């Protein structure tokens, strides 16, 4: 099995391809390597391909005219990204950037589109993927409009724990480093605001943040806070809130 086909098979969407179907995609697939911080694609570039992340991690983000970053998603190994090219072939609208050394399998749009026309199950899976990602963005937008900074922090930690976390009992450890600035760029607040919110959550033993490593210490309590009415913060056992020391800037 060639390297490109092996990478393709690691993607959940494509693991059920027959050898012949995988070979068809492999004929013009291109494996590319990106250094940390290198841009995979940027706005206004033609949407001529779809990518599978073979190894590493990719950040999907956008920039305002003032240069402020908004993180839309993190892509992990085996995931598809740049998938909107399948539907309109228009220019890219966001940046994809390697946040660590990464290897990407680039699939020509027309090749994958032809396969989707033959495989209704695969087309449905891609549609569900796009719908799920859109729902997450819409949820963040609602949170931005209606929730406090602390509540937004809680919700994004729960989202990342679900999509990029390893759970052991009530603990969930995120699989990649996450700085205070990263969290701020995910929820649309300043780094200082995130530092305060994480400091509160850490004082209440809901999370632990150490050298950009984030661990949810008590997933049920954090979920309960996310579902509680606005202003009702989770409390430690015993019901008395702990003092809130400021978290170290990161």
Domain containing residue 125: CATH number = 2.60.120.10
- Residues 129 and 196 both lie in one domain: no
Is residue 77, in this structure, part of any structural domain at all? yes
Could you tell me if residue 236 is inside a domain?
Answer: no
Low-confidence ranges of the chain (pLDDT < 70): 1-7, 9, 230-250
For residue 234, being part of any structural domain is answered with no
Same domain, 69 and 162: no
- Is the pTM higher than 0.85? The answer reads no
Confidence at residue 69, expressed as pLDDT on a 0 to 100 scale:
94
Range of the domain at 135: 3-143
Tally of CB atoms within 10 A around 134: 10
Number of domains observed in the structure of the chain: 2
Q: What is the pLDDT of residue 2?
A: 54
> What pLDDT, on the 0 to 100 scale, is given for residue 232?
54
For residues 11 and 117, state if they share a domain. yes
- Pair 29, 124 in one domain: yes
pLDDT at position 6, please? Answer: 65
User: Residue 187 maps to which CATH number?
Assistant: 1.10.10.10
Q: What is the pLDDT of residue 237?
A: 47
């Amino acid at each position: 099995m060639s390297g490109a086909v092996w990478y393709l098979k690691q993607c959940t969407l494509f693991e059920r391809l027959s050898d012949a179907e995988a070979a068809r995609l492999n004929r013009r697939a291109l494996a590319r390597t990106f250094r940390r911080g290198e841009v995979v694609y940027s706005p206004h570039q033609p949407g001529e391909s779809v990518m599978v992340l073979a190894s590493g991690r990719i950040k999907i983000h956008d920039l305002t005219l003032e240069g402020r970053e908004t993180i839309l998603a993190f892509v992990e190994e085996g995931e598809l990204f740049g998938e909107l090219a399948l539907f309109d072939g228009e220019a890219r609208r966001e940046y994809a950037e390697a946040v660590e050394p990464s290897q990407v399998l680039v699939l020509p749009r027309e090749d994958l589109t032809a396969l989707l026309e033959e495989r209704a199950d695969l087309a449905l899976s891609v549609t569900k993927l796009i719908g799920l990602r859109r729902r997450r963005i819409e949820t963040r937008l609602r949170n931005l409009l209606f929730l406090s900074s602390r509540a937004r922090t809680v919700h994004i930690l729960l989202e990342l724990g679900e999509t990029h976390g390893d759970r052991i009992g009530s603990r969930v450890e995120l699989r990649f480093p996450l700085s205070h600035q990263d969290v701020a760029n995910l929820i649309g607040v300043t780094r200082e605001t995130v530092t305060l919110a994480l400091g509160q959550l850490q004082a209440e033993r809901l999370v632990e943040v150490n050298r950009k490593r984030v661990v949810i210490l008590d997933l049920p309590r954090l979920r309960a806070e996310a579902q509680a009415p606005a202003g009702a913060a989770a409390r430690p056992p015993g019901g008395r809130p702990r003092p809130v020391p400021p978290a170290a800037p990161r």
